[in-house]
Chains A and B, each alone.
Chain A
Amino acid sequence: MLAYIGRRALLAIFTVWAISVLSFAIIQLPPGDYVTSYIAQMASMGSVVTDEEAQNLRIQYGLGQPIYVQYLKWMRLIAQGNFGMSMEWRRPVTEVIAERFWLTVVVSVASLFLTWVLALPIGIYSAVRQYSVGDYVGTFVGFIGLAVPNFLLALVLLYLGFTLFNAHIGGLFSPELQDASWSVARVWDLLKHLPIPALILGLAGTAQQIRIMRANLLDELRKPYVVTARSKGLTEAALILRYPVRLALNPFASTIGYTLPYIVSGSIIVSLVLGLPTVGPLLLKALIAQDMFLAGTIVLLLGVMTVIGTLISDILLVWVDPRIRLEDT
């Protein structure tokens, strides 16, 4: 088991490294560098940056050195918790994204949680009552969930909420608590606003999980041990929940790894449509303004967050499925 977790952790570290290289590439890609944009920005505000100042800035940021040296310098700064300055906000990147990043984590985890809470019972139901009306309804809703891109779903729900109930369903906070400091009231407000974005983000994943759960459980239900258990007089509920469901859960746990990147990806666009204060809108603005340190940091942090989530799901999988533990020992 330890060997397995160790291997997954090693892969996770590799992934983080790959993501850091890609984020660095994103920072480097646009023509010009930080200082050119800084000079342009200062010029637009009426002040002039002298050549000497520009030269000093370039040295300070290590620009003009070979790419790999710049990368290493960037990495070293990050290791010290310094993600650079956001040009647009004129503040350290960490300050700009702190709250938004945690809200992104909250939204993603909430939708992952909702995916499970919905998919588990619906999946079990459609397997146990195969070809019932409920099964067909579940399958149909599942297909819709898979086919409708989540940002379009968000758009449609927003429109319906606006026209039918005259309510704005977007946002994560009520207007009066938008900029308030954290308090019990604000947390409660957040919890009240969370379900709709979480549902929109999680619907595609839920649909997939329902199909997986249904297929796996159907396979298990046909196995002889189920018949044996039934012949011994176990109640149907205990029989299904205790054995086949437990086995059918394995692939369920292992798919978090694929679901999480999908949710995080989706949260970027959905946040824009619903006006959620996550890193999504910030990333878009940063990219358009070529505020590359901010953009690169956001991509890096989102990637790392996904990798950690995937690692947790891997560990969870070993815990649920003893067969993986045995394979490695």
Chain B
Amino acid sequence: MARPDVALDPTSVPVPGAGAADAIKQRIFVASQWQLTWWRFRKHKVAVASALVVIGFYLVVMGADFLAYADPNASEAQRSLMPPQRVHWLDGWRFGPHVYAVKGTRDVQSFRRVYRADPGEKIPIRLFAKGFEYRFLGMIPTTRHLIGVDGDRDATNTIFLLGTDVQGRDLWSRLMYGTRISLTIGLVGVTMSLVLGVVLGGLSGFYGGIADTLIQRAIEILRSIPTIPLWMGLAAALPRDWSILQVYFAITIIISLLAWTELARVVRGRFLSLREEDFVVSARLVGCSQMRTIFVHMVPSFMSHIIAATTLALPAMIVSETALSFLGLGLRPPAMSWGVLLQQAQNVQTVALSPWLMLPAVPVIVVVMAFNFLGDGLRDAADPYGR
């Protein structure tokens, strides 16, 4: 393919010795937009690291039941509010991770359960140990878990890496399952707002005129309403007898109904700037249908922007769900999400006595930060021709 800009560039004339730099230049000239985006993104180290963190979280989503070692709903009154057990990595001089067995008694004065580790009784932690039955990836029935203990779990023969909640349920396992719900609810919600945002933003930017004015005013109105009271009102109106799944979808719809505005704004902006571009005008002139102009010519050229905006919208979704569930208006037990787990940490007295109940806040913060950095990196990379 003849590229006039390359031919006219004096450095592109093969000169012995200048071959390497030249080859790089050639590569840049012929690279596709996606390749350029990827090269640019790769340079943003923090964003790449964040991408790995996000991928890690979604691996947890897929393998939650494999990573959990205890049934997240199995409560054990004998093990209420047990602090996290310390893992001892060395057994004598050999590598042999284990925890000490824990004896629980009730304090006569405060009536709280107190726990004491017994160094005499070691419980080894095994890899791929047997535990409760589940289907790996939803298909393969198995009882193997990443870690676990020999023999059957009972009140003494057990591990609690992150301690237990009031009902004596294992926090680590609950956290794994909570990750599954918290992270997928964001995905479902963001998909819904994406559809709304692209359709309404597209209408607004492509047609302009009255549609544009109406949609823009609607966005301005929606953005000036404090969202949380509204969400609370809508969420509280959900019937109490709905199943977990119904509530789950209702909550995503409620959240995404108010969250599409930013995506619509981005899409509209791109449509406006592309509408008068030469390639769009020529597509129209050679008689492409409107649908074809939009989806074959325009959308691919700002796909990367949409992906970046979507990534930036995800953490807001996750936080919204967490906040609603934390208030007791979102998902309700027995559903597990980070917000539901954090509900137990609402009371400062409880938290002061059992600080490990605040641990579900850690993944919230980490994942929100990772998504923010990733989105920033993607947004910068999405415009490889800029700067």
Residues of A within 8 A of B (CB): 11, 14-15, 18-19, 22-23, 26, 29-31, 143, 146-149, 151-152, 155-156, 158-159, 162-163, 168, 170, 257-258, 261-262, 264-266, 268-269, 272-273, 283-284, 287-288, 290, 295-296, 298-299, 302-303, 306-307, 310
Contact = CB atoms under 8 A, between A and B. Distances in A.
A34 to B, nearest CB: 14
B83 to A, nearest CB: 14
Interface string B197-223: 000000000000000000001001101
B224 interface: yes
A268 B351 contact: no
B233 A299 contact: yes
Contact of A30 (B237, B346, B351, B352): B237
Give chain B's interface secondary structure class.
Answer: helix
Given A149-B368, A156-B361, A162 B233 contact: no
Nearest to B236: A287
Given A15-B220, A298-B229, 12 more contacts: A31-B239, A147-B368, A148-B365, A149-B365, A152-B364, A155-B351, A156-B361, A158-B348, A159-B352, A265-B228, A269-B327, A284-B328
Contacts of A284: 232, 327-329
B372 A147 contact: yes
B307 interface: no
Nearest to B355: A159
Interface string B331-369: 000000000001001101001100100100100110011
Give chain A's interface secondary structure class.
Answer: helix
A29 B237 contact: yes
A149 B323 contact: yes
A11 B369 contact: no
Given A149-B322, A149-B368, A18 B221 contact: yes
Contacts of B368: 147-149
A11 B220 contact: yes
List 4 A-B pairs, minimum CB-CB distance, nearest first. A29-B237, A26-B233, A287-B236, A265-B228
B229 to A, nearest CB: 5
B87 interface: no
21 contacts: A14-B217, A14-B221, A15-B220, A15-B221, A15-B225, A30-B237, A143-B369, A149-B323, A152-B342, A155-B345, A159-B355, A162-B351, A257-B224, A261-B223, A261-B227, A265-B229, A272-B327, A287-B232, A287-B236, A302-B226, A303-B225
A149 to B, nearest CB: 5
B319 interface: yes
Contacts of B358: 155-156, 159
Contacts of B342: 152, 155
A159 B326 CA distance: 17
Contact of B233 (A156, A163, A269, A287): A287
Contacts of B220: 11, 15
